[in-house]
Amino acid sequence: MCFESEKVVMFVNAGGEGSTEANCTMSFMADSFFQGGDAFQTGEHIVESGDHSLIYQSARLGNFCYRFNNMLPGDYYVDLHFVEIINTYGPKRMRVFNVFMQDEKASQLVELHYLDYFVKSILSDFDIFSIVGANKPLQLIDSRVSVYDARTRTRTRTRTPKPTPGHATCPPSVSVKDDGLIIIRFEGVNGSPLVSGICIRRAPKFSALPVKREHLVCKNCAAEIEVTSAQHKVMQMKSTAKYEKKIQELSAQCQRKSDECYQAWMSLTAANEQLEKVRMELDNKLFQTYSLDQTVDKQAENLRNISSKYECDKKFWAVAINNLQEKIKVMKEEHSQLLREAHECADSIPDLNKMVFAVQSLVSQCEDLKVKYNEEHAKRRKLYNLVQEAKGANYSGCTSRNIRVFCRCRPLSKTEVASGHATVVDFDAAKDGELGILTGGSTKKNFKFDRVYTPKDDQVDVFADASPLVISVLDGYNVCIFAYGQTGTGKTFTMEGIEQNRGVNYRTLEELFRVSKERSETFSYDISVSVLEVYNEQIRDLLGASPTSKKQWRLAKTDVQGDRLKEAQNINRSLSALGDVISALATKSSHIPYRNSKLTHLLQDSLGGDSKTLMFVQISPSEHDLSETLSSLNFATRARGVELCPAKKQIDTSELQKLKMMVKELEKKLKEQEQSESTTYQRVFVITLFICFIKIYCLFVPYIIHG
């Protein structure tokens, strides 16, 4: 069998431009009829590409198909031209793909011819590089043309003796039905499919062989029988008719089967579509079901929570309601009780009025009592002072107007004991305020004072006797306490004491503040204190002294050693002035010489005024101080004999003002002295000597305000 003729319907240059061969035997269409994919072109030389080298320098690549429309119904051959022009270095199986025609896999229809031998192959898993390598054509052509020379495009019935570009043969023609459509689809297995040219040819009609005389061989006798061409033709016609009939039957059968297949295919497609639809609906339903399940689970969980919360709330409110009911019950009872009490109150209003009157009368009684109490309190204080006066009488056996004198004797010092000094003081009658001084041999001179302290009596004992004067101070009396005596006899010890064992000064102030605090509800006191030290004819303010004057004072004290004799005259003068004052007071002289010394001037109000005065006469027990001791005791005896005016309260502060003025005047003079250095030296010189003999501490309470 051979083709009566071959008619190329179109030759598409896939991925390239249209062109016509130089000899005008073939023209190529520009790439068309495709759907999808990309065009690719190369300038590389395509080996063994014959006259069609142009179509092998371009290709369509990717996921694509070709749809040839408006084809006349009939049979066609489709030649496919491939060449690997992209992955030119391989490797194999880098581009593997399938080809489908009219939705049938072309691979099932082809025989692949390569070089001079047939290779039966399948176009599924079609790999160009594996077969021919790169830049070398591979053709899929009509199977009835055994060999197709790509260079000459002349069809031969023999195999090509020399290897030329690879080619494949295509089996039966493609049938185009009434829809006029040829579909060629490319599907990648590994990498993208690729095609360089598609040639569609009309399948040629069959034609009878030329009529000529033939000889037939008898099957029985093997004789050769000559038949005419007409006879031969008839025989052939019969045979042809028989085969044509057979072919027609088969064609009809084939057509029927094709139709059935088509119908089956269509119904299968429809069924598949239906199935897909159902599957999608099922998926949707499943998804909805899943969502619904989740919603239901969530709502069930919410419901459980709400229900447990409801249970809790229920219990809570039940308890709360019970509590409230209890409270209401209690409140009702309280309400009834209050109602009862209100009624009782209303009933007792007359009694209440009576009570108010009673309270008012009690308040006025209380006021009266308060007034009486204050009066009694004033009386009590008056009586207290009277008691103190009486005590003063007890001290000395003389009137309360006398200066009170306490005699205190220090113990022998360690040096005196070590030197074997004997004591000249006899304390046998000390409790009765009597003191004996052994003046030599068996001679003893007795003295009597308000109090006599032995060396064993301590600071507490001394202050116990002095403390009533503190009450007197707060009751408004002027009080003067001073110590007198030979140097080293304990004046400082008695008045100041030592840190561990305080003296009269500190204890007096303590007591003063204690009592004023005790009375704070009744009285308000404004207290100020001055501390003065008197050294013969000089008064020093111990609280207000400036550092400069203190220094000068100390310098002066250290320089006195060599000038004692000179200063003794001044001391005697001071003592003499004090003695004169005391004598004048004792004899009740009309003139008291207070102004003869600073000391007597300062003590004017205390010695002769209406104040309460207490003098400590300090003595030494040593036989070596006998004469000074006798002198001091004689002086003290004279002082004790001084009769003072009855002490009176200083409610009128003029006396205090006077005292203040005097202190100020003295301070002023002291400052003037300090300004004149040479003069100061001289005067201080004199003062310091006096301190060896007498030191007087004065405690003033300048003004006391009674609340």
Q: Give contact residues for ligand ATP (rule: CB under 6 A).
A: 410-411, 455, 485, 487-493, 618, 691, 695
Confirm if 582 and 599 have CB atoms less than 8 A apart. Answer: no
Q: How far is the CB of 423 from ligand ATP (least distance, A)?
A: 14
Give the nearer residue to ligand ATP in terms of CB position, either 395 or 493: 493
Comparing CB distances to ligand ATP, the nearer of 65 and 405 is 405
Query: Cβ closer to ligand ATP: 176 or 481?
Result: 481
> For residue 142, what are the β-bridge partners?
170
Q: How far apart are CB 694 and ligand ATP at their closest, in Å?
A: 8
- The nearer residue to ligand ATP, 13 or 632, going by C-beta atoms, is 632
Residue 378 C-beta: closest distance to ligand ATP, Å: 39
Cβ 683 to ligand ATP shortest distance, Å: 19
Instruction: Decide: 44 and 135 in contact? Cβ < 8 Å.
Output: yes
CB of 691 to ligand ATP, least distance (A): 6
Q: The tokens of 313 are what?
A: 């709330």
CB of 597 to ligand ATP, least distance (A): 18
CB proximity list for 20: less than 8 A, separation 6 or greater: 26, 27, 28
Report how far residue 391's alpha carbon sits from residue 554's, in angstroms, rounded to the nearest whole number.
Answer: 41
Helix, strand, coil fractions of the chain, as percent rounded to 5: 45, 25, 30
CB of 670 to ligand ATP, least distance (A): 20
What order of strands is seen across the sheet that includes strand 696-700?
538-541, 530-535, 696-700
Q: How far is the CB of 623 from ligand ATP (least distance, A)?
A: 17
E-assigned strands of 302-372?
Answer: none
Q: How many CB atoms lie within 10 A of CB 597?
A: 22
Strands 612-619 and 404-409: parallel
- CA-angle at 594, arms to 593 and 598, nearest 5°: 130
Find the shortest distance in angstroms from Cβ 471 to ligand ATP: 25
CA distances from residue 163 to 49, 148, 176 in whole angstroms, order as listed: 12, 12, 34
Count CA within 13 A, CB hemisphere, residue 213. 5
Least distance in Å: CB of 438 to ligand ATP? Answer: 20
Please report how close the Cβ of residue 426 comes to ligand ATP at its closest, in angstroms: 17
| 445's tokens | 């001179």
Burial-class residue 600 by CB neighbours within 10 Å (0-12, 13-18, 19+).
buried
Angstrom distance (rounded) from CA 406 to CA 466? 9
| 148 versus 482: smaller Cβ distance to ligand ATP | 482
Which residue, 151, 105, 96, 165, is CA-closest to 129? 96
- Amino acid letter, residue 559: D
CB of residue 628 vs ligand ATP: minimum separation in angstroms? Answer: 11
Backbone angles phi, psi at 128, to 5 degrees: -65, -45
Least CB distance to ligand ATP at residue 457 (A):
8
CB of 693 to ligand ATP, least distance (A): 7
Cα–Cα nearest to 37, from 182, 195, 198? 195
φ/ψ (deg, to 5) at 238: -60, -50
Q: Give the up-direction half-sphere exposure of residue 678: CA atoms within 13 A in the CB hemisphere.
A: 0
Tell the smallest beta-carbon distance from residue 488 to ligand ATP (Å): 5
**Residue 336: CB atoms within 10 Å:** 10
Smallest distance, ligand ATP to C-beta of residue 473, A? 24
> Residue 646 is encoded by which pair of tokens?
């009855």
Residue, CB closest to ligand ATP: 490
Closer residue to ligand ATP (CB): 226 or 559: 559
Closer residue to ligand ATP, CB minimum distance, 433 or 490: 490
Whole-angstrom Cα distance, residue 257 to residue 489? 162
Q: How far is CA 82 from CA 35, 128, 151, 350, 420, in A?
A: 18, 7, 15, 134, 154
How far is Cα 136 from Cα 166, in angstroms, rounded to an integer? 8
CA distance 24 to 582: 176
CA distance 142 to 174: 10
Looking at beta carbons only, is 584 or 619 nearer to ligand ATP? 619
Beta bridge partners of 174: 76
Those residues whose C-beta lies under 8 Å from the C-beta of residue 677, and which sit 6 or more positions away, are none
Q: Which is nearer to ligand ATP, 400 or 620 (CB)?
A: 620
Cα distance between residue 660 and residue 561, in whole Å: 35
- Chain centroid to CA 362: 65
Residue 90's identity, in one-letter code, is G
